[in-house]
Amino acid sequence: MGAPGREVRPVRDEQYLAYAEAYTKAAKLLADRADDVDAVRTPFFHLVAHAMELMLKAVLSRQGLDEEKLMMMGHGIERCHAWAIEGGANRLHDDELVAFVEALDRPHEMQALRYPQRFRWTMPEPTQAVRLLNRQLDIVRAYLATDR
């Protein structure tokens, strides 16, 4: 608790987690409420991929990476995922999550979910993406809840 009259600010990993939770919720709402999910597929996967990146950066922040190093990681979800596991977030090493990370990595890193690109990629079905996103969020929450 902070001194009287002083605001207590959340630590950086909590801020990353809060953003990840918001992006996860937005992706779920979009998938649940869209009349035609295919019509919003690209923005949906942008929300999903960004939520994944923010979750992983929450873990990396907890593991001691400062803001400069987190920025230097760029948008590489696969790189963030590998570093998080190497740093001790072992529950993220799951075959289904690894495949999900691999599917999202290149289009997210190349910003193809934000701007038109010529290449094509295969993405999971939106319901599967929401399920895996929530699973990773549960793992990240549990990891951040432990004392380090």
pLDDT tens, position by position, 82-108: 999 999 999 999 999 999 999 999 999
**C-beta separation of 87 from 54 below 8 A:** no
Report H helices in the chain: 12-33, 41-62, 67-72, 77-86, 95-109, 126-145
- What is the per-residue pLDDT for 116? 87
Burial class of 5 by CB neighbour count within 10 A (0 to 12, 13 to 18, 19+) = exposed
Residue 62 pLDDT level (bands cut at 50, 70, 90): very high
Residue 3 pLDDT level (bands cut at 50, 70, 90): low
**C-beta separation of 28 from 112 below 8 A:** no
- What is the per-residue pLDDT for 16? 96
Burial class of 91 by CB neighbour count within 10 A (0 to 12, 13 to 18, 19+) = middle
- What is the per-residue pLDDT for 119? 64
* pTM of the model as a whole: 0.89
